[in-house]
């Protein structure tokens, strides 16, 4: 019989994408971020978790699903386009199998075809095209804990207006409640961004805990007695968990961690770039524009050019995922043994990751995670997976400190999102934020059209506050699209404002925005009122 475990590992998966929807474009490249994440990450993880449950394995995983992602997973147009996306890839895999390929290539193509069919059947039949319902069932069963996020992943410490910060959290909480039929206990702060005062906003919205990067706890005042291996509590009563750098780095680092193993699938070589123009046109994009199909038949191999990559061997990759899961468990057990020798409570090792690491960036990531959860349940005598809420239930008394201002990411202190490339964004956000609050406090709509305009202005400012656009600009990924998106939301706000005050409403433009930026359909502009006047 398995003895009671005393060391705890908390896997925290942060699931987030910016809200991208382009209804006027039949095929829009940036929408593929969403379709890829469903195919390579969200559905595979749901299948893995469901398989573990069927085996009678108990496990605990914490998972954020941010409001923009929730809204996209509920959008009928995007879901219809996703179905087209995956059916095209099934057809592509079957077409490629008609070619004269060597056996190893056909084995991999057969694997992709069967996998894609399984994913399609899971999406359409098992989940009835409602992926959120699947994760809700996992939460209701006690296997995962879903936490919320600020409305559009805004970095709250970079918000200059207290009311706008509060609205971001309030909308995030309401989105969660409407989706999962319960109040969220935890929140993922956009980019793990924290500074003093954020905890008060969280506490006022019923949030019990959040996660910070390592230095957010280690630089707290006073210093945490247990470092990052136990939560701390702020004066406002919010618990803070800190990232365990050893547990995290071993998984996410492509240089020092497991994902860089030579047997794993190569991310950067895709069959789409080996196809003829007609094949691309028939299966991926009617204009013949090339982008990833997701069918990648080569392995990492080593530090060689893409044309030197060797063929992928799925069986070997699966074996390595199992080996690495065992190694990860072993290392966490040794870490727990040491911590137990110096602590008077069960230590918690918190390992937060972007969910898309598992499957999208590291194709075998879901296999690794499933193997780790299975091995820990059956084999470990000292380690137990746990959700953050359950750990707080076990150990409700924690040290009171003031966590340090911090983010995760390069530098750890906001520079990824506020720098010479992005500093133009924030004055605009400050101005339109004040305008929105003033309107909410004073404007009484004369008719339903004015109310629609005000509500859409609220959506535009919330979308403009997303941290994603500044991040993409800084790191140099989809820079033009990020700049255009940020500018579009700001300019849309101004145009709506002008039409409202001058009574010259462009109704077609309003309808376009209501279709394109259809996030938070429940939003009422009065949420922006100052609380004392609400």
- Domains of the chain and CATH, by start: 7-149+244-372 (3.20.110.10), 425-533 (1.20.1430.10)
Q: Is the peptide bond before 471 cis (omega within 30 degrees of 0)?
A: no
Q: With 50 as the cut, is the pLDDT of residue 3 above it? A: no
Other Cβ atoms less than 10 A from the Cβ of 66: the count is 27
* The predicted structure's pLDDT at residue 534: 43
Q: With 90 as the cut, is the pLDDT of residue 281 above it? A: no
Q: 325 burial class (0-12, 13-18, 19+ CB within 10 angstroms)?
A: buried
- For 55-114, write each residue's pLDDT tens digit: 999 999 999 999 999 999 999 999 999 999 999 999 999 999 998 888 999 999 999 999
Instruction: Report which of 393, 341, 347 is spatially closest to residue 227, judged by C-alpha positions.
Output: 347
- For 211-228, write each residue's pLDDT tens digit: 999 999 999 999 999 999
**If you average pLDDT over every residue of the chain, what do you get?**
95
Q: With 70 as the cut, is the pLDDT of residue 1 above it? A: no
Instruction: Report which of 360, 185, 194, 190 is spatially closest to residue 264, judged by C-alpha positions.
Output: 360
Q: What percentage of the chain reaches a pLDDT higher than 70?
A: 98
Residue written as token pair 């390579």: 40
Q: With 90 as the cut, is the pLDDT of residue 161 above it? A: yes
Identify the band that residue 532 occupies on the pLDDT scale cut at 50, 70 and 90: low
- For 298-326, write each residue's pLDDT tens digit: 999 999 999 999 999 999 999 999 999 99
Q: Is 90 helix (H, G, I), strand (E, B) or coil?
A: helix
Tokens linked to 98: 């008609």
- Check: CB of residue 187 under 8 Å from CB of residue 172: yes
Average pLDDT estimate for 476-505: 96
Q: With 90 as the cut, is the pLDDT of residue 256 above it? A: no
- For 362-374, write each residue's pLDDT tens digit: 999 999 999 999 9
* The predicted structure's pLDDT at residue 385: 97
- Check: CB of residue 130 under 8 Å from CB of residue 79: no
Round to whole Å and give the CA distance between 272 and 92. Answer: 10
* The predicted structure's pLDDT at residue 229: 98
Angle, CA of 15, 402 and 412, to the nearest 5°: 50
Identify the band that residue 174 occupies on the pLDDT scale cut at 50, 70 and 90: very high
CA distances from 389 to 12, 45, 147, 269, 271 (A): 12, 21, 10, 41, 43
Q: With 80 as the cut, is the pLDDT of residue 117 above it? A: yes
Tokens linked to 351: 């390992």
- For 457-474, write each residue's pLDDT tens digit: 999 999 999 999 999 999
Q: Which residue stretches of 465-533 are H helix?
A: 467-475, 479-501, 507-516
- For 131-153, write each residue's pLDDT tens digit: 999 999 999 999 999 999 999 99
- Check: CB of residue 95 under 8 Å from CB of residue 279: yes
Round to whole Å and give the CA distance between 262 and 497. Answer: 55
């Amino acid at each position: 019989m398995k003895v009671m475990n005393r060391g705890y590992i908390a896997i925290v998966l942060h699931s987030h994408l910016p809200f991208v929807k382009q209804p006027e474009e039949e095929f829009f490249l940036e929408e593929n971020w969403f379709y890829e994440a469903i195919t390579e990450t969200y559905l595979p993880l749901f299948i893995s978790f469901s398989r573990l449950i069927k085996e009678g394995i108990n496990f605990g995983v914490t998972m954020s699903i941010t409001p923009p992602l929730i809204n996209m997973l509920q959008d009928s147009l995007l879901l219809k386009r996703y179905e087209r996306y995956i059916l095209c890839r099934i057809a592509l895999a079957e077409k490629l199998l008609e070619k004269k390929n060597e056996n190893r290539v056909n084995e991999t193509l057969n694997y992709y075809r069967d996998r894609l069919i399984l994913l399609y059947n899971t999406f359409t039949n098992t989940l009835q095209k409602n992926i959120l319902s699947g994760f809700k069932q996992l939460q209701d069963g006690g296997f995962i804990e879903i936490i919320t996020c600020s409305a559009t992943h805004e970095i709250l410490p970079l918000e200059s207006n207290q009311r706008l910060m509060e609205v971001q959290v309030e909308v995030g909480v309401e989105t969660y409640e409407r989706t999962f039929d319960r109040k969220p206990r935890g929140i993922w702060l956009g980019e793990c961004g924290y500074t003093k005062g954020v905890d008060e906003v969280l506490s006022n919205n019923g949030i019990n805990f959040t996660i910070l990067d390592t230095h957010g706890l280690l630089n707290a005042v006073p210093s945490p007695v247990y470092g990052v291996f136990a939560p701390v509590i702020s004066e406002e009563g919010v618990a803070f968990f800190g990232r365990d750098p050893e547990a995290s780095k071993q998984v996410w680092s492509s240089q020092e961690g497991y994902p860089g193993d030579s047997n794993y699938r190569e991310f950067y070589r895709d069959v789409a770039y080996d196809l003829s123009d007609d094949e691309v046109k028939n299966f991926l994009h009617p204009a013949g524009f090339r982008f990833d199909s997701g069918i990648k038949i080569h392995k990492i191999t080593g530090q060689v050019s893409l044309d030197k990559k060797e063929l992928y061997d799925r069986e070997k990759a699966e074996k390595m995922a199992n080996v690495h899961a065992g190694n990860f468990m072993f290392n966490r057990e040794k870490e727990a043994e040491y911590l137990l020798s110096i602590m008077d409570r069960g230590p918690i090792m918190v390992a937060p990751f972007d969910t898309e690491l598992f499957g999208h960036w590291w194709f075998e990531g879901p296999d690794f995670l499933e193997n780790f959860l299975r091995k820990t349940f059956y084999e470990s005598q000292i380690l137990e997976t746990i959700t953050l809420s359950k750990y707080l239930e076990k150990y409700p008394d924690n040290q009171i400190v003031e966590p340090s201002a911090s983010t995760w990411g390069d530098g750890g202190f906001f520079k990824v999102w506020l720098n010479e490339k992005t500093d133009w964004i924030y004055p605009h956000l400050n101005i339109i934020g004040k305008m929105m609050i003033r309107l909410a406090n004073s404007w009484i709509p004369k008719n339903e059209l004015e109310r629609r305009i005000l509500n859409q202005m609220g959506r535009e400012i919330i979308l403009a506050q997303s941290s994603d656009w500044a991040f993409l600009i800084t790191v140099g990924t989809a820079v033009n699209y990020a700049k255009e998106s940020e500018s579009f939301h700001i300019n849309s706000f101004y145009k709506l404002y002008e039409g409202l005050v001058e009574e010259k409403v462009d109704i077609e433009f309003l309808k376009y925005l209501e279709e394109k930026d259809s996030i938070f359909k429940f939003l009422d502009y009065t949420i922006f009122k100052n609380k004392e006047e609400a």
